C-alpha cells in the first residue's frame, strides 16, 4: 500500500480509537529496517470540540502476507504487548488491534510512536550514538539490565505460556530444537544439509540452565531504541517465548550482530555481560550452555533467511531483499561452521571435529 | 540457492518496473531501467544454472549418502531416501540434497547414527565452502 492509501484507510479507524469524529493522518512513512512485520509511522491530527489542535504520533505494525517468520500470530503479539505494558519492560503504550483485513489488507495493531535513535549493527561506530567508549559501555550495561527486567517478568502469573511457545513440561533446549527444525521443514525449498547437521550437533550437545523465563527471542542491537542515553523501547517481540534465559544472552552475542567488533551486540565484552547478568540475576552462566545456545542461535539466524528466499520463490512476496537472503544466509552458515570447527573444506568421509 | 533462475529474472524485472520505475523522474534513468527489464526478459530464455556445478554437488551428495549407507545399512530405508536422479540437473541436485538431509535426520534418531553422520557432515562442510566460493557480495562478511 502507498503511504496515501495507508493514511486514508487509517483515518476512520484512528478517529474511533481516539474518540473523535474525524482525524487527519499524514506524514505516513514506511520503515524499511525490518524484513518481517511492516511498520508505518504517522502523525494523527484533530481538533477538540473547543478548537484545541491535537497531534498524536503513532506506529502501526501490519502483519505481512508472508515473510521471514511466517506464520504470524498477531493476537498473541498484541496480548503479550498488553501484558508487558503492565511491567517495567520498556515498551510503548498500545492504541488498538484490528483483525478485520478490510482496513489495511492484513491485521495490524497500533501503538504510540516512540522517539529516540535505534542503533543498528551496520552502523556500530555511529558517533551520534556512541560518541565515546564510556557511553558505549553505559549503554551496554543498560542493555544487560533491560534484559534482566524482561527475564524477571512473572510469566506464570501473567499466564504468558497460554499463548507463547514454550517447553510445556519438557526442557527448553529440546523445545527450541524441535521448533526450529519444524520451521526449517516448512520453510525450505531446497535442502541445506549444513543446517540439518548443526541441528544434529545441537541434539547431541543439548545443555540448558535450570531456569525458565520470558525470552525476547531477538534481543540484540537493532531491536531497541535509545533516548537520553537509556533504552526506552525494546522492539520486535515476534520470537518471544518461554525458555532458557541463556538463549537471549547467546543470541545477543552472535557474530551476526557484532560486525567486526568483539563486543556483544557491539556494546560490551562478553565477560562483562556475563558478570553483569550474574550480579542482577544470580545466574552464573555455564560455558557449555552458552555454546549450545550460540550454535542453535546461528541455526535460528539462518533459518529465516532460508524462509525468506523460499517465500520469494513461491511468489508469496515480491521483495527482492528476500531473494538476496538466499545468498546472505551463507555468511551466517559460515559463522556456524566456524563455531563448530567445520572451517576447512572437507572431503566426503572427513570426521566430525567437534 | 533457494530460488529458480526464472523466478529471479521475473522478480528483478517486476521490482524494476513496479517499484523502482515509478520513483524515477529522469528520462535517461527511466530508459536505463526499461532496458534492464527488456534484457532480463530476453536473457532469461537463453541461460540456465551451470550444469557442471549442479552435477558436482549431486555427485558429491550421492557419494556421501553412499558412504553413510555403507557404514549404517539401515539408513537406506529411512524416509526421504528413496528419490534419486532425474534428467533435469536442478531436480537431481535438489533430490540429492534432500537425501543428505534425510540421512542426517535418520542419524539423529538412531544410536548408530554417529558413524553414518561423518561422511554426511563432511559433505555439508564441502557444500558450504563450495557455495561460499561462488559468493561475490555480503553484508555480514567478517
DSSP string, A142-183: HHHHHHHHHHTS-TTTTTGGGTS---TTS-HHHHHHHHHHHH
Mean pLDDT of B38-44: 96
Instruction: Mark yes or no for CB contact B8/A323 under 8 Å.
Output: yes
B2 to chain A: which residues are within 8 Å by CB? 188-190, 306, 309-310, 313, 326
- Overall fold of domain A3-112: Phosphorylase Kinase; domain 1 (3.30.200)
Direct distance between the N- and C-terminal alpha carbons of chain A, in angstroms, rounded to an integer: 49
- Residue A347 pLDDT: 56
A310 to chain B: which residues are within 8 Å by CB? 2
- Residue A40 pLDDT: 92
Mean pLDDT of B29-42: 97
pLDDT over threshold 60, residue A352: no
Instruction: Report residue A240: phi and psi, to 5°.
Output: -60, 145
Cell of residue A154, nine digits: 512473572
Chain B CB within 8 Å of residue A275 CB: no
Instruction: Mark yes or no for CB contact A349/B18 under 8 Å.
Output: no
Lowest mean pLDDT among A68-72, A154-158, A299-303: A68-72
Mean pLDDT of A40-44: 95
**Between A272 and A4, residue with greater pLDDT:** A272
pLDDT, tens digit, 9 for 90 and up, residues B77-107: 999 887 676 789 999 999 999 999 999 999 9
Mean pLDDT of B63-73: 95
Q: Which of A190, A256, A326 sits opposite B140 (nearest CB)?
A: A256
Mean pLDDT over the full length of chain A: 91
CB atoms within 10 A of CB A97: 17
The C-alpha angle with vertex A33 and arms to A31 and A37, in degrees rounded to 5, equals 70
- Residue A34 pLDDT: 63
- Can you tell me whether residue B110 is helix, strand or coil? coil
pLDDT, tens digit, 9 for 90 and up, residues A89-130: 999 999 999 999 999 999 999 999 999 999 987 777 888 888
pLDDT over threshold 50, residue B7: yes
Taking only residues 230 to 269 of chain A, the set having a beta carbon closer than 8 angstroms to any beta carbon of chain B reads 255-256, 259-260
pLDDT, tens digit, 9 for 90 and up, residues A133-143: 999 999 999 99
pLDDT over threshold 60, residue A57: yes
Cell of residue A144, nine digits: 544487560
pLDDT over threshold 80, residue A80: yes
**Between A65 and B58, residue with greater pLDDT:** B58
Mean pLDDT of A322-345: 87
B135 to chain A: which residues are within 8 Å by CB? 327, 330
Please name the CATH architecture into which domain A121-353 falls.
Answer: Alpha-Beta Complex (3.90)
- Residue A349 pLDDT: 44
**Between A205 and A70, residue with greater pLDDT:** A205
pLDDT over threshold 60, residue A348: no
- Let me know if the fold of A3-112 is the same as that of A121-353: no
Per the listing, cell 531456569 goes with A211
pLDDT band for A33, please (50, 70, 90 cuts). Answer: low
pTM: 0.91
Q: Which of A256, A320, A348 sits opposite B64 (nearest CB)?
A: A348
Taking only residues 103 to 122 of chain A, the set having a beta carbon closer than 8 angstroms to any beta carbon of chain B reads 122
Angle between helices A287-313 and A245-252 (to 10 degrees): 70
pLDDT over threshold 50, residue A353: no
Which among A94, A104, A120 has a CA at the least distance from the CA of A30? A104
Closest-CA residue in chain B for A335? Answer: B142
Mean pLDDT of A151-172: 95
So what's the ipTM on this one? 0.92
pLDDT over threshold 50, residue A350: no
pLDDT over threshold 90, residue B70: yes
Closest-CA residue in chain A for B64? Answer: A348
Mean pLDDT of B113-118: 88
Instruction: Mark yes or no for CB contact B121/A352 under 8 Å.
Output: yes
Lowest mean pLDDT among A14-28, A59-73, A325-339, B47-61: A59-73
Give the domain ranges of chain A: 3-112, 121-353
pLDDT over threshold 80, residue A45: yes
- Residue B142 pLDDT: 42
pLDDT band for A202, please (50, 70, 90 cuts). Answer: very high
Mean pLDDT over the full length of chain B: 91
Structure letter (DSSP) for residue A157: T
Determine the Cα–Cα distance for residues A172 and A161; give it in Å rounded to an integer: 13
Amino acid at each position: 500500500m502507498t503511504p496515501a492509501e495507508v493514511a486514508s484507510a487509517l483515518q476512520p479507524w484512528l478517529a474511533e480509537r481516539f474518540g473523535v469524529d474525524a482525524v487527519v493522518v499524514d506524514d505516513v512513512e514506511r520503515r524499511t529496517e525490518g524484513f518481517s512485520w511492516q511498520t508505518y509511522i504517522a502523525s494523527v491530527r484533530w481538533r477538540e470540540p473547543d478548537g484545541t489542535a491535537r497531534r498524536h504520533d503513532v506506529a502501526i505494525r501490519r502483519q505481512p502476507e508472508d515473510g521471514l517468520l511466517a506464520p504470524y500470530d498477531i493476537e498473541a503479539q498484541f496480548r503479550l504487548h498488553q501484558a508487558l505494558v503492565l511491567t517495567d519492560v520498556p515498551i510503548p503504550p498500545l492504541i488498538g488491534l484490528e483483525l478485520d483485513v478490510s482496513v489495511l489488507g492484513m491485521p495490524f495493531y497500533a501503538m504510540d510512536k516512540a522517539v529516540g535513535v535505534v542503533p543498528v549493527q551496520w552502523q556500530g561506530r555511529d558517533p551520534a550514538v556512541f560518541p565515546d567508549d564510556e557511553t558505549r559501555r553505559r549503554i551496554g550495561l543498560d542493555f544487560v539490565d533491560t534484559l534482566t527486567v524482561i527475564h524477571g517478568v512473572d510469566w506464570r502469573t501473567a499466564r504468558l505460556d497460554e499463548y507463547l511457545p514454550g517447553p510445556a513440561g519438557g526442557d527448553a533446549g529440546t523445545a527450541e530444537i524441535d521448533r526450529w527444525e519444524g520451521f526449517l521443514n516448512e520453510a525450505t525449498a531446497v535442502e541445506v544439509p549444513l543446517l540439518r547437521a548443526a541441528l544434529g550437533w545441537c541434539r547431541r550437545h543439548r545443555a540448558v540452565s535450570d531456569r525458565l523465563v520470558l525470552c525476547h527471542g531477538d534481543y540484540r542491537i537493532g531491536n531497541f531504541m535509545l533516548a537520553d542515553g537509556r533504552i526506552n523501547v525494546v522492539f520486535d517481540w515476534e520470537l518471544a517465548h518461554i525458555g532458557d534465559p541463556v538463549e537471549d544472552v547467546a543470541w545477543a552475542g552472535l557474530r551476526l550482530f557484532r560486525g567486526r567488533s568483539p563486543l556483544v551486540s557491539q556494546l560490551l565484552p562478553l565477560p562483562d555481560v556475563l558478570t553483569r547478568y550474574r550480579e542482577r540475576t544470580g545466574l552464573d552462566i555455564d560455558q557449555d550452555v552458552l555454546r549450545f545456545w550460540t550454535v542453535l542461535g546461528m541455526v535460528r539466524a539462518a533459518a529465516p533467511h532460508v524462509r525468506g528466499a523460499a517465500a520469494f520463490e513461491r511468489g508469496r512476496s515480491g521483495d527482492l531483499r528476500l531473494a538476496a537472503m538466499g545468498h546472505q544466509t551463507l555468511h551466517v552458515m559460515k559463522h556456524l561452521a566456524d563455531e563448530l570447527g567445520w572451517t576447512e573444506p572437507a572431503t566426503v568421509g572427513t570426521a566430525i571435529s567437534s | 540457492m533457494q530460488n529458480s533462475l526464472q523466478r529471479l529474472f521475473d522478480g528483478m524485472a517486476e521490482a524494476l518496473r513496479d517499484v523502482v520505475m515509478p520513483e524515477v523522474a529522469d528520462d535517461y534513468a527511466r530508459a536505463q531501467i526499461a532496458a534492464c527489464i527488456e534484457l532480463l526478459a530476453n536473457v532469461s530464455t537463453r541461460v540456465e544454472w551451470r550444469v557442471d556445478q549442479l552435477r558436482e554437488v549431486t555427485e558429491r551428495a550421492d557419494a556421501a549418502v553412499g558412504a553413510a549407507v555403507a557404514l549404517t545399512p539401515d539408513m537406506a530405508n529411512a524416509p526421504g531416501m528413496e528419490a534419486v536422479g532425474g534428467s533435469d540437473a536442478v531436480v537431481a541436485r535438489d533430490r540429492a540434497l534432500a537425501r543428505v538431509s534425510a540421512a542426517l535426520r535418520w542419524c539423529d534418531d538412531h544410536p548408530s547414527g554417529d558413524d553414518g553422520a561423518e561422511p554426511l557432515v563432511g559433505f555439508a562442510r564441502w557444500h558450504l565452502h563450495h557455495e561460499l566460493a561462488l559468493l561475490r557480495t555480503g553484508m555480514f562478511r567478517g
